[in-house]
Chain A
Amino acid sequence: MSTTTTTTTTARAVSGPMVDVREVRKHFGHIEVLKSVDLAVQPGEVCCLLGRSGSGKSTLLRCINQLESIDAGEIFVAGERIGYEEKRGKLHPLSDRAVARQRRSIGMVFQRFNLFSHMTALDNIIESPTGVLRTSRSTAKARALELLDRVGLADRADHYPRQLSGGQQQRVAIARALAMDPAVMLFDEPTSALDPELVGDVLGVMRDLAADGMTMVVVTHEIGFAREVADTVVFLDGGEVVERGAASEVLTAPEHASTQAFLSRVLREEA
C-alpha cells in the first residue's frame, strides 16, 4: 500500500454535522424501507451502517446523494439541504442540474465498482473533474496520477477496467470519487463483491482515508473494519435504527436483541 500521501484530506469547516439525516421516510411500493430514520455524522467521523440485507442501510446511503428520492424528512450535507429548496415556507424539488451540483461534493463508491468500462483507469478518474468541474486536463491528470499512487495503482493508469482485478477496480473507483474533492464519502458495501483475498487492499485504502480525516459513511458487513476504523456504528433493522453509539461499545456489548443476533451470526461466519 502506498504511503506517499501528498494530498491530505482534511475535514471541511462545517459547524454542526457533515451529514444530517432527519426523520427520513422512504417507500418502495407498499413496502416502507425507511421508517423515520435519523443520522448525524460529524466532520471527520467514520460511521458504519450495519444490518441484515433489506434493513434499509443501502437505501439510506443512496438517499444522501439523491440516487433515491425521499418521501418525507430532511437531509443536509455540509449544512446544505439535499434535493429540495425552501421557498415561502414550502419545500420545492431542486432541478436536475442543481441536484447534479450537490452530488459533486458527495463521493460514492459502489458494491459493483461501476467503473466506466470504455475508459482507462486514468480517464475514469479525470472524466468528471475535466467535464463537470472544468479543471484543465493537465491538472486533472496530475491529480489523478497522485490519487492512483495513493491507492497503490500508479502503474495501472492505462488499464481498462476489464484488465483489473475486482480489488483494483474498487480502488480506482475510490480514486475517481476522491478526484472530485468530496466533503464526504459514501461506501455502499465496497468489499461485498470481492474475492476474500482482495478485500484487505480496499479496506487498507479506506483505513488510510479515515486516518486522513475524511468523513465517511460506510455500509458494510466487515465487522472487523467497523471495529477498527469506525468511530460510530448505526445498526438498522426493518427500516429503523435499533441501536447506535460508539463502535467500541455497540460492537462489544450490543444491547438490542437483533444487534446481538446479527453480530453473533456475522462473527460466526467470519470464524
Chain B
Amino acid sequence: MASAAPAWAEEARQAAGQALQALPGLTGREEDWRFTPPEDLALAGPEPGPAAAPVDAPVPAPGHRSARLAFADGAAGRAEAAGLPEGVVVADLGDALSSHEALVRERLYALAGFEDRPGALNAAGWESGTFVYVPRGVEVELPVEAVLSATGARGRVFGRTLVVVEEGAKATVIDRFTSPALASAVHASSVAELFVAEGGELEHVSFVDWGAGMRHHAVVRAAAGKDAKVRSVVVTLGGDVVRVEPTLYVRGSGADARALGLYFAAGDQHFEHRVVSRHEAPQAYSNLLYKGAIQDAAHTVFFGNLVVPPGAPGTDAYQTNRNLVLNEGARADTIPFLEIETAEVKCSHAGAVGRVDDEQVFYLQARGVPEREAKQLIVYGFFQEVLDQIGFAELREELDAAVARKVR
C-alpha cells in the first residue's frame, strides 16, 4: 500500500485484523466448508512460509488491452495504459485510497467486508490491487487486465479489485491469476467488488490459471443496478486447491446478471465454486451457468443458490451446473439450491454429472480423429454453451489451448 493511507483505511485494516482474531476458526465441519478443508487454504491467519525454490514471475498474456496492471507476489509493479477515455481511472487500489479517496471510500468493503475469516484475512492483508472507475456514459472498448502472479518468494499473496461502472458506462475487466509450477504450497487470497450502476455494463473475468502448488481462495461480489448488465465469468484451470465464491447482488429492476463459469480439473486438483444470486429487487433476471470437465483423480464441487427474499416478485432466475467426467476416479459434486420466499417468480435449477459419451468418441474416431483429439473436441464443445455468452473472445483460444493441453 502507498505510504500515506488515509486514517479510515488504516482503521478498516485494524478492524479487519481484530475480526480475524475474534472470529471463530474454521474447522471444516461447517456446512459451507464440507468439501474443501479450510486448512488447505491457510485461512487461519499467519503467513505460511515461502515456497522451496522461488521462480521468476511469468510474462503477461498477449492481446490488446486498454490498460494493464501487474502484481508480483501481490505488490504493485508495472502499469500501462493506452488511450483510456477521459475520466476513466485504472490505478493501483493501494494508491487510489488516497488519490481517489472519495470514490474508493464509498465502496471498498461495502460488498465484501470482514464478517467472515476469508474476508477479514484479505482486508487485513492486502497491499495492492486493481481500481477501475468508468464514469457515466463512458465506454472502455478494450479490456483492462490485471495479473496477480506468485513466485514462491512469499507464502501468501493478496489480490484486491474494486470496479465501479457508472450509469450507462461499459467495461471489461480481467483478473488473471498466474504462476509457474512451484516446488511447494503457496497461498492466494483475492477479493473483487464490482459495482454496476443503472444501465451500466460490466464483464468481469476471473481467470484462475495458477501453476502447481497454488492454493487460492477467491471472492467475487457484483452489484447490478437498475437495467444493468453484469457478467461474472470464472475460468478455473490451474492451482492445486481453488475455491471461488461469486455472488450476484441483483439490486435493480430490469437487471440482467449472469454468473458464468468454466473449469477443467485434472491430476489431483480440487476446485470448489460456490455461486449465489441474490435478488433484492423485483422484475430482474439472473442466470448461473457453470460447466466443468473432470479428469484423472480430480474433484470438483459446485454449490449454487438462487436467493429470492420477500419483495422480489417477477424474478426470473436460473441455475445450471453440468459436469463431464472423463474417467473413472474423477469426481464431481453438484448441489443446486433454491431459497425462494417470494411468490410469482420463475426459477429453475439443474445439476448434472455425466460421462463422456462413447458414441460421440466413436463417431469422431470413425472420421479419422484420434481418441485424444476426439475427447478434446467433445470437451471444448461441452464448454461452448458458456463461451457463447461471454464477450471476451480471446477466452476461446485460451480455453481451446488449455483443453488441448489437459485432455489425456
| B partners with A | no
Residues of A whose CB lies within 8 Å of any CB of B are none
